[in-house]
A and B are shown apart, each in its own frame.
Chain A
């Protein structure tokens, strides 16, 4: 498929901030959490945004594509149905596992960066792709712990994933920052190693330091260091889109608008 269309600057649509998203100036696109939408009963606010021509991209959190279990096709089909209901050009989920051994972590857990884990991920991604009506982008997650015996860097792992599945990448610079802080990922090397021509768009989010680790909470302000990583990324490639995620502890409209403006300033910065 050809490149991803220009998306601009966007924000994650959430029911708690539906009115905010509707009235904020300069929201070029939104993302919806696919698992929270019901086909045939789209929230009025999402319909309104669609009527305005705002692209709505479904983002999934439950496919567990990095998991050892076979892909749950009902979840993939739901994601595809949401994509069709909102006319989305692509969908996304994460390079992670959610469930294992009969337990549900309720979270996006990192996968071991081993050849074996990559083989399983590749097989799962291909299964998902075969059952989706639009291209799939996959996002790097934030880790609090490191698996032992890693054979690849995170950048190499993602590069090989793209090469073998032809998926797109959704690069979360806050997650990249978290991994740099928590598990020693080298952000420059990460950006060197991933195929930036397969970048679908970028996530930016806030978080907080807690003890020795950085928690990617989506409930705090975006750190300047995260915007610096966005700047670093933009110095290498002009990202098709950049989206702010805020999931809790919602600030005023003014604060959200200023975070979007700060993102836009980085994206629009004149570069040599």
Chain B
């Protein structure tokens, strides 16, 4: 096997490194302006957050001011995988919030109902 990477292989590693920096808090690849990496990271995050807000306005309303900081933590921990859909992202965020106790789960609501206080 040749040790020289093909154009496609080279491009694959360059693009993967950039998306890892932008979407998964990876290190900025060599040669990029780190400030611009940060600008792009925030732009992509804002776009993704806007789509999730649009798809789940009730959840965004329930979370209120907590929506943005929570979403941003969720997003960095869960970069969108190839083949995933925006609706799945919105559902996964809601699930993540429930697991973190930031959104009521159906079960908790029932307990609340027959809790004596």
- Which residues of A are at the interface with B, using a C-beta cutoff of 8 A? 67-69, 97, 99-107, 109, 111-112, 115-117, 119-120, 123, 144-149, 211-213, 215, 248
Interface string of B70-97 (1 = CB under 8 A from A): 0000000001111110100000000000
Could you tell me if A107 and B36 are in contact, using CB atoms closer than 8 angstroms?
no
Task: Given A68-B9, A211-B39, decide whether A100 and B15 contact each other with a Cβ distance below 8 A.
Answer: yes
Task: Given A107-B47, A120-B11, decide whether A101 and B36 contact each other with a Cβ distance below 8 A.
Answer: no
Interface of B (DSSP majority class):
helix
Could you tell me if A106 and B39 are in contact, using CB atoms closer than 8 angstroms?
no
Chain B contact residues (Cβ within 8 angstroms of A): what range? Answer: 35 or more
List A contacts of B81 (CB < 8 A). 102-104
Q: How far is the CB of B46 from chain A (nearest CB, A)?
A: 9
Q: How far is the CB of A218 from chain B (nearest CB, A)?
A: 11
Complex CA–CA separation, A105 to B79 (angstroms): 9
Could you tell me if B30 and A120 are in contact, using CB atoms closer than 8 angstroms?
no
Complex CA–CA separation, A149 to B50 (angstroms): 33
List B contacts of A69 (CB < 8 A). 12
Could you tell me if B19 and A117 are in contact, using CB atoms closer than 8 angstroms?
no
List B contacts of A145 (CB < 8 A). 32-33, 36-37, 39-40
Could you tell me if A144 and B36 are in contact, using CB atoms closer than 8 angstroms?
yes
Interface: B20 (CB within 8 A): yes
List B contacts of A248 (CB < 8 A). 50
List B contacts of A120 (CB < 8 A). 7-8, 11
The chain A residue with its CB closest to the CB of B12 is A68
The chain A residue with its CB closest to the CB of B33 is A145
Task: Given A69-B12, A97-B15, A112-B11, decide whether A105 and B33 contact each other with a Cβ distance below 8 A.
Answer: no
Q: Which of A97, A105, A112 contacts B23 (CB 8 A)?
A: A105
List A contacts of B99 (CB < 8 A). none
Interface: B3 (CB within 8 A): no
List B contacts of A119 (CB < 8 A). 7
Interface: B43 (CB within 8 A): yes
Could you tell me if A67 and B36 are in contact, using CB atoms closer than 8 angstroms?
no
Interface: B10 (CB within 8 A): yes
Q: How far is the CB of A64 from chain B (nearest CB, A)?
A: 9
List A contacts of B22 (CB < 8 A). 105
List A contacts of B51 (CB < 8 A). 106
The chain A residue with its CB closest to the CB of B35 is A212
Interface: B55 (CB within 8 A): no
Can you list 23 A-B pairs with a CB-CB distance of less than 8 A? Answer: A67-B15, A97-B15, A99-B82, A100-B18, A101-B20, A102-B81, A103-B79, A104-B80, A107-B44, A107-B47, A109-B18, A109-B19, A111-B11, A112-B14, A117-B11, A120-B8, A123-B8, A144-B36, A146-B33, A147-B14, A147-B32, A148-B30, A211-B39
Q: Lowest 10 A-B CB distances belong to which pairs?
A: A148-B31, A101-B16, A68-B12, A100-B15, A116-B7, A145-B36, A68-B11, A104-B80, A103-B19, A144-B40
The chain B residue with its CB closest to the CB of A103 is B19
Residue of A69, A102, A145, A212 with highest tally of chain B CB at under 10 A? A145
Could you tell me if A106 and B40 are in contact, using CB atoms closer than 8 angstroms?
no
List B contacts of A146 (CB < 8 A). 32-33, 36
The chain A residue with its CB closest to the CB of B31 is A148
Could you tell me if A101 and B47 are in contact, using CB atoms closer than 8 angstroms?
no
